[in-house]
Chain A
């Protein structure tokens, strides 16, 4: 047993002395022999990992990542919705108005989404027209009323026989006639 360790240490010593000699190769590299650097397995893979010194792109990449995320968050559902509408529902076709039929206001549009918006969200163009006409009518009445008021003002001021511009006179009982009540005063 002791002789074995002596032999092993002698082999290690011999290998250290002359590693190139044939019998001196380290059969088991686990024993305390020198490492063989001339017979290393070299594989040309991705190359040696280098540490490239460049300014940080963390913020730029984070920004682009977040931009992509938030744009696609609603972009993809909207795109899917529009594709499904165009494929499964499809656009309307032009037709002549049948006799005695009054089309609804959304039936004047082609695309199904436009029709839906016109039906559910917007008021009908007839209603918008009438709303505008109502506003114009109110303004017209206001304008006419203002003009007549000016005219009436002028007339009442000059003629004086109307209810406006009447100056209240004093009460008769307040007049003090004592200084002219007798002829000798």
Chain B
């Protein structure tokens, strides 16, 4: 069964449902609909997953996240050493993917905060908004306009341009 999400990254606000004081003799339609949903959808699905879980309890397998060793980067390779270039390129691609996932995770947290807070999101979500803004700016400056055929060399050249622009601007 899929695991639940990280409760620290997506905190739930305290529940504010008031105590229900029935003032009419009529039945509460929301309660009826909720019970209907429970008995027609929730209970069958839960029992099915329980049954399937019992069947799968014997043969549980695990999977791991692969850890890659760090190899010398493009700047540390000798000229003409194409093997070093290849390893550096593969490492750069893995780092690119990791950075994309980081941006997605931060963006997800910001959107969850926005959805939680509702109309007061601009005030209450400052941390997430600031974090996402920083992360997006950093990602843009590093990988911004590299395009579909991005490679480690192009990224390095972009960094060089950035450093040159940084040197020029104080003048």
Question: Footprint of B on A, CB under 8 Å?
Answer: 87-90, 92-97, 103, 107-110, 112, 115, 129, 132-133, 136-137, 139-140, 144
Question: Footprint of A on B, CB under 8 Å?
Answer: 3, 52, 55-56, 59-67, 80, 82-83, 86-87, 90
B56 A96 Cβ-Cβ under 8 A: no
Q: A89-B56, A90-B52, A90-B56 are in contact. Are A133 and B63 (CB under 8 A)?
A: no
- Cβ contacts under 8 Å, B59 to chain A: 89-90
Q: A87-B52, A88-B55 are in contact. Are A136 and B82 (CB under 8 A)?
A: yes
Number of A-B contacts (CB under 8 A): 63
- Cβ contacts under 8 Å, A96 to chain B: 64
Q: A89-B59, A93-B63 are in contact. Are A136 and B52 (CB under 8 A)?
A: no
A97 B56 Cβ-Cβ under 8 A: no
Distance in angstroms between the alpha carbons of A154 and B67 in the assembled complex = 49
B55 A87 Cβ-Cβ under 8 A: yes
Question: In whole Å, how far is A118's beta carbon from the nearest beta carbon of chain B?
Answer: 11
A107 B55 Cβ-Cβ under 8 A: no
24 CB-based A-B contacts, threshold 8 Å: A87-B52, A87-B56, A88-B55, A89-B56, A89-B59, A90-B52, A90-B60, A92-B61, A93-B3, A93-B61, A94-B62, A95-B63, A96-B64, A108-B64, A108-B65, A108-B66, A129-B90, A133-B86, A133-B87, A136-B86, A137-B83, A139-B82, A140-B80, A144-B80
User: Who on chain B is nearest to A114 by CB?
Assistant: B63
- Cβ contacts under 8 Å, B66 to chain A: 103, 108
- Cβ contacts under 8 Å, B82 to chain A: 136-137, 139-140
Distance in angstroms between the alpha carbons of A95 and B86 in the assembled complex = 31
B90 A97 Cβ-Cβ under 8 A: no
Distance in angstroms between the alpha carbons of A137 and B61 in the assembled complex = 38
A93 B60 Cβ-Cβ under 8 A: yes
Distance in angstroms between the alpha carbons of A174 and B72 in the assembled complex = 66
B64 A94 Cβ-Cβ under 8 A: yes
Question: In whole Å, how far is B39's beta carbon from the nearest beta carbon of chain A?
Answer: 24
Distance in angstroms between the alpha carbons of A69 and B60 in the assembled complex = 37
B62 A92 Cβ-Cβ under 8 A: yes
Distance in angstroms between the alpha carbons of A29 and B113 in the assembled complex = 91
Question: In whole Å, how far is A105's beta carbon from the nearest beta carbon of chain B?
Answer: 9
Distance in angstroms between the alpha carbons of A73 and B143 in the assembled complex = 48
- Cβ contacts under 8 Å, A88 to chain B: 55-56
A95 B55 Cβ-Cβ under 8 A: no
Question: In whole Å, how far is A30's beta carbon from the nearest beta carbon of chain B?
Answer: 64
Q: A137-B83, A140-B82 are in contact. Are A108 and B63 (CB under 8 A)?
A: yes
Distance in angstroms between the alpha carbons of A12 and B125 in the assembled complex = 106
Distance in angstroms between the alpha carbons of A150 and B109 in the assembled complex = 60
User: Who on chain B is nearest to A93 by CB?
Assistant: B62
Question: In whole Å, how far is A135's beta carbon from the nearest beta carbon of chain B?
Answer: 10
Question: In whole Å, how far is B58's beta carbon from the nearest beta carbon of chain A?
Answer: 10
Question: In whole Å, how far is A80's beta carbon from the nearest beta carbon of chain B?
Answer: 16
- Cβ contacts under 8 Å, A133 to chain B: 83, 86-87
- Cβ contacts under 8 Å, A139 to chain B: 82
- Cβ contacts under 8 Å, B55 to chain A: 87-88, 90
Question: In whole Å, how far is A67's beta carbon from the nearest beta carbon of chain B?
Answer: 33
Distance in angstroms between the alpha carbons of A97 and B90 in the assembled complex = 23
Q: Which of B55, B64, B83 has the most CB of A within 10 A?
A: B64
